[in-house]
Amino acid sequence: SVNRTQYLLDEGDDLLLDEVNPDEEMAILDQLLELQHHDNEYEKKHKSNEEHLKEVEGELEEQEGMLLQLKESLKVYHTLKARYEVLMGEVQQLEAEKKNLAEQLEKAVVDPSK
């Protein structure tokens, strides 16, 4: 029984060897190599895309930081602008008061009785 099994296995091997076509095997190997090549190319491209994505993310973070600084600068600018406008209003009031006092002084010099 063991001999019979061995005989069948040997016969099966012989049959497989008879069915082997070197051209087909080479074509299969070529296809496998091509698939491996495409897989490697995909991995390279994927890695390149990931690196580019990290680079873009870094640039975005940098720009976000710059925008936050700009936002703070604009807040300071608006605060200073509001103070400037208040001070200009006070200056205009003081100029009007100065003009009024100068007119009163001129009237007093012209007519000391008033």
Contact 114, 108 (CB under 8 A): yes
Predicted model pTM: 0.47
Q: Give the whole-angstrom CA distance, residue 1 versus residue 98.
A: 130
The pLDDT value recorded for residue 6 is: 65
Question: DSSP 3-state assignment of 55?
Answer: helix
Burial code (b: 16+ CB inside 10 Å, e: under 16) for 24-38 equals eeeeeeeeeeeeeee
> pLDDT by residue (tens digit) across 79-91?
999 999 999 999 9
Give the model confidence (pLDDT) of 29-55 as tens digits.
889 899 999 998 989 998 999 999 999
Q: What is the residue-averaged pLDDT of the chain?
A: 86
Determine the pLDDT at residue 28: 84
